[in-house]
Chains A and B, each alone.
Chain A
């Protein structure tokens, strides 16, 4: 191997061309592809070590990929030492795609991740702590919203830089409820059912409520959490033991409410095949009046090309506590990047994407202005440009009020991701009437215990 090392050095010194390198390597008993692969691997290491251009692979879910590419172009203009290729896959299949990439040696350097999967990805050794590999990024955490920081922290290590942080909110079509004779949005779930029934009876909407409940849509579980939180309930205790299966508890009430809404046909019967984009489309078309979605969808509904554009408002999550889920999606640094010695390049890249450039949160601000994405970087709330933009489609004060009572998801453990998929299946079964809400919750608790052991 020593002679091969010498050969490699001579290639980098320019004394030997790639063709000559392969010829000599083959003579030394190494196959041509192996020699080329070795050369490629050495060249990557060499780039990282000497500070030459490093190529990063960036994995995202398919949301506004053109904007991401534009952001990358802007970054590359400022930083000639790092080039970035972005690859995307749908949000619904993101977890499984990433699991495949990480386990088959095709791990990207930087990837979107979520508080959903933090513990699982850390346990599987797929991502590394930012405070160890990019300490300057993690040091900005004092400016992040507490629930967002909590969602990216495990065992006192920060594993992510916020991509966006947002709330699950209750959205209603103000024009439609006024048509039905209501002057204010529902304050609890019983009122939601009452108003929905009135809209249905008056022929304003055949199915006034639509909520994404498609089995493979990860939003389903966050929405269910929010519906339990807003009733003042919990899903897990502080020791991560399930409490959602308590007889007559808030989780059972929430699931029974969904089932009742489904059978009384105030909830769209197509909810089990509707993912987030489907619901945005049908709400925008005026088919439904009430939904529960991530807050940024309010911007899309009020600013996008929709028939009912401008008629949508947010209300505090109906219920006694008005609580909801606050969540964070973040940029994670893969272990593969650390192994490839790409951590420094990734640090530069992430500084632009999630941190500050010339004292400004450039990319986070762009997302907030262009797409209405929420942010974890609290100083952005004081930015007049952002305040004006949010008020164009939402309500800054109400958003702040909702954020105050928001809470991160409970029970986040390494096995939570597995349980989540099973839980979504059980929620779907209860809605469709294949099992009772009580039994579905009991099955979810049994699954949790079996995964825990």
Chain B
């Protein structure tokens, strides 16, 4: 096919693209998919959240306005779950970010064998969350956990520690497991950012006598601003909505000490069979996540503008 024919085909395609029929034909499937898989469930959940919808009372589903929202926000279990989620988020997001950055800085060194290490570092992230939860449960179990065996042999503890049975250590255990599972993604994002820093800038700063800390503060950190913001917001969203790990590791216990917001929404819906309140909780969480997403999009846009 000649270049002239190619150009003709492109023009023909462009002509077709401007017709209403072509636009409708291409847009309709997408709109239908969005309507079926996004708008309908969203609308259904919105309606559900305004009704008394207990599965044990399938024939009594009156409209109750915002009562479900009021009830869940007044409920002590939800308040406890919100508190736990805040603590969890405040502990995990900085740790995941700092650890990810530290690993990225390490992997950015030109050392033989680090290529394999870069691939290996992604392993925890590649493991499904449920599997990660099972691995950590076996590691931490108070009767036969491998970590206890190791600590006992090293003489660090005198007996097996029930990491997941004590309210004070259970939350930290979930936090550690979450950090282990999450840090690889930020590490790879930061590593990508680090590799974009021009070598001559770093060399020039060295010639000018800048130390490690000065180079990190004045060169590395500014170049990592965009991935850093993305990591902070993404990891906050993940921490707020984490569910799988709690599901496998602690089931929200002991007591309610590791009951996080997403777990509370799940339990309300599928354990307590209260679809109305479960939908209300999901909407509250979605609203919070929406704020984060809007902030994320604004930041990314600002960043693009600056570039």
Q: Which of A92, A415, A421, A425 contacts B56 (CB 8 A)?
A: A415
With A92-B251, A215-B250 in contact, do A270 and B143 touch (Cβ < 8 Å)?
yes
Contact yes or no, A120 B165, CB < 8 A: no
Choose from A95, A273, A421, A425 the contact partner of B255 (Cβ within 8 Å): A425
Over the window 198-221 of chain A, the binary record of Cβ atoms lying under 8 Å from chain B Cβ atoms (1 yes, 0 no) is: 000000001000100011100000
Q: How far is A120 from B257 in the complex, measured between Cα atoms in Å? A: 27
Question: Does A99 sit within 8 A of B, measured CB to CB?
Answer: yes
Decide: B143 and A278 in contact? CB cutoff 8 A.
yes
Query: Is B167 a contact partner of A434 (Cβ separation < 8 A)?
Result: yes
| CB atoms of A273 and B142 under 8 A apart | yes
Q: Tell me which residues across on chain B come within 8 A of A216, comparing CB atoms.
A: 251-253
Interface of A, helix, strand, loop or mixed by DSSP: helix
Given the contacts A272-B253, A432-B255, A434-B255, A281 and B272 also touching, CB distance less than 8 Å: no
Complex Cα distance, B56 from A120, in Å, reads 6
CB-CB < 8 A to B164: which residues of A?
A: 270, 272-273
Contacts of A274 in B (CB 8 A): 142-143, 165
Does B270 belong to the interface (CB within 8 Å)? Answer: yes
Q: Are B56 and A414 in contact (CB-based, < 8 A)?
A: yes
Whether the Cβ atoms of A99 and B141 lie closer than 8 Å is: no
Report the separation of the CA atoms of residues A269 and B256 in the bound assembly, to the nearest whole angstrom. Answer: 17
Say yes or no: is A35 at the interface (Cβ < 8 Å to chain B): no
- A269 and B166 contact, Cβ closer than 8 Å, known pairs A278-B143, A415-B56, A431-B254: yes
Asked if A30 lies at the interface with its beta carbon under 8 angstroms from chain B, I say: no
Which of B162, B254, B256, B266 has the most chain A CB within a 10 Å cutoff? Answer: B254
Instruction: Please state if A421 and B166 are interface contacts (CB–CB under 8 Å).
Output: no
Is B21 close to A, CB under 8 A? no
B273 at the interface (CB under 8 A from A): yes
Q: Check: B86 CB closer than 8 A to any chain A CB.
A: no
Q: Which residues of B contact A297 (CB under 8 A)?
A: none
A100 within 8 A of partner (CB): yes
Mask, A102-123, CB within 8 Å of B = 1, is 0100000000000000001001
Our pick among A120, A270, A418 for the contact of B162 (Cβ within 8 Å) is A270
Residue of B nearest to A123 (CB): B56
Question: Is the C-beta of B98 less than 8 angstroms from some C-beta in chain A?
Answer: no
**A428 to B253, Cβ gap below 8 A?**
yes
Query: What 1/0 flags go to A261-305 for Cβ under 8 Å of B?
Result: 000000011111110001001100001000000000000000000
Specify which chain B residues have a CB less than 8 angstroms from the CB of A282 in the assembled complex: 143-144
Partner of B254, one of A96, A99, A429: A429
C-alpha gap A420/B162 in the complex (Å): 24
Residue of A nearest to B272 (CB): A418
Nearest-neighbour CB distance to chain A for B164, whole angstroms, equals 4
Within 8 A of A (CB), among B121-168: 137, 141-144, 159-160, 162-167
For the complex, what is the distance from the CA of A25 to the CA of B143, rounded to whole Å? 62
Taken together as a complex, chains A and B put the C-alpha atoms of A435 and B274 apart, in Å, by: 26
Q: Which residues of A contact B256 (CB under 8 A)?
A: 425, 429
B162 contacts A428, CB within 8 Å? no
Beta-carbon contacts under 8 Å, B23-61 to A: 55-58
Quote the shortest CB–CB distance from A64 to chain B (angstroms).
21
User: Is there a chain A Cβ closer than 8 Å to B267's Cβ?
Assistant: yes
Binary contact track A308-327/B, C-beta < 8 Å → 1, others 0: 00000000000000000000
In contact, A124 and B55 (Cβ under 8 angstroms): yes
Q: When the two chains form their complex, are residues B143 and A268 in contact, meaning their CB atoms are under 8 A apart?
A: yes
Known interface pairs A270-B142, A278-B141, A432-B167; A95-B252 also in contact (CB < 8 Å): no
**Which residue of the partner chain B has the closest CB to A273?**
B164
Interfacial residues of chain B within 255-301, with CB under 8 A of chain A in the complex: 255-257, 266-267, 270-275
| Nearest chain B residue, comparing its CB with the CB of A281 | B144
Residues of chain B with a CB closer than 8 A to A270's CB:
141-143, 160, 162, 164-165
Determine if A426 is an interface residue (Cβ-Cβ < 8 Å): yes
Say whether B254 contacts A432, CB under 8 Å.
yes
Q: Is A67 an interface residue, CB under 8 A from the partner? A: no
CB contact under 8 A between A428 and B255, given known A269-B142, A270-B141, A272-B164: yes
> In the complex, A99 Cα to B271 Cα: how many Å?
8
Q: How far is A385 from B144 in the complex, measured between Cα atoms in Å?
A: 37
CB distance from B128 to the nearest CB of A (A): 16
- Rounded to whole Å, the gap between the CB of A53 and the closest CB of chain B is 33
**A241 interface residue per 8 A CB criterion:** no
- Are A215 and B253 closer than 8 Å at their CB atoms? yes
Complex-state Cα separation, A206 to B255, whole angstroms: 24
Q: In the assembly, what is the distance between CA of A79 and CA of B218, in Å? A: 78
Contact A120 B159 (CB under 8 A): no
Please indicate the chain A residues that have their CB under 8 angstroms from the CB of B273 in the complex.
99, 120, 124, 417-418
Given contacts A123-B58, A269-B166, A271-B165, 7 further A-B contacts (CB under 8 A): A99-B271, A103-B275, A124-B56, A210-B143, A425-B255, A432-B165, A435-B255
Listed A/B pairs (11) with beta-carbon separation below 8 Å: A96-B270, A123-B58, A206-B159, A215-B253, A268-B142, A268-B143, A268-B162, A269-B142, A272-B162, A273-B164, A431-B254
Across the A-B interface, give the 7 residue pairs with the lowest CB-CB distance, nearest first: A270-B142, A215-B253, A429-B255, A216-B251, A272-B165, A272-B254, A273-B164
Q: List chain A positions with a Cβ less than 8 A from chain B.
A: 92, 95-96, 99-100, 103, 120, 123-125, 206, 210, 214-216, 268-274, 278, 281-282, 287, 414-415, 417-418, 421, 425-426, 428-429, 431-432, 434-435
Question: Interface on B for A, CB 8 Å cutoff?
Answer: 55-58, 137, 141-144, 159-160, 162-167, 250-257, 266-267, 270-275
